[in-house]
Amino acid sequence: MLVKGKERIKTKYRDKCQIYYLIVKSCIGHYQSKNKLSYYSSYKRLNDYLADLIRLDLLSFDEKLQRFIATPKGNEFVRKYDNIIDFVPSFRRDYEI
């Protein structure tokens, strides 16, 4: 069977706040390695995002385990962001994985 043409996969544009949300959300309740978090961004940008999230006290870094986990402030950020997503229905489709 021949396939005519190539299907183009639409890539979703995510702004910085959305990426912060997705990173912090993935770190709630368990430690995440930088390798697992690299799904959300390129390595260079991920380093910048992680530094920002630590500076904002949304994530903490465990030096012994070399892993990231959400702080209570990070949990609150995700909870409030979830409320915004629920409040504005057009946002919901942007957060479906």
Tell me, what CATH number does 43's domain have? 1.10.10.10
Does the reported pTM lie above 0.85?
A: no
Q: How many domains does the chain have?
A: 1
Convert the pLDDT of each residue in 32-87 to its tens digit.
999 999 888 888 999 999 999 999 999 999 999 999 999 999 999 999 999 988 88
In a domain, 31, yes or no: yes
Average pLDDT of the segment spanning 18-30: 93
In a domain, 65, yes or no: yes
pLDDT band of residue 25 (cuts 50, 70, 90) is very high
In a domain, 10, yes or no: no
Which of 4-8, 38-42, 46-50, 91-95 bottoms out in mean pLDDT, i.e. has the lowest? 4-8
In a domain, 62, yes or no: yes
In a domain, 8, yes or no: no
Of the candidates 82, 80, 55, 58, the residue with the CA atom closest to the CA atom of residue 69: 58
In a domain, 9, yes or no: no
Range of the domain at 65: 16-95
Concatenated DSSP letters of 6-64: -PPPPPPP--HHHHHHHHHHHTSSS-B-HHHHGGGS-HHHHHHHHHHHHHTTSEEEETT
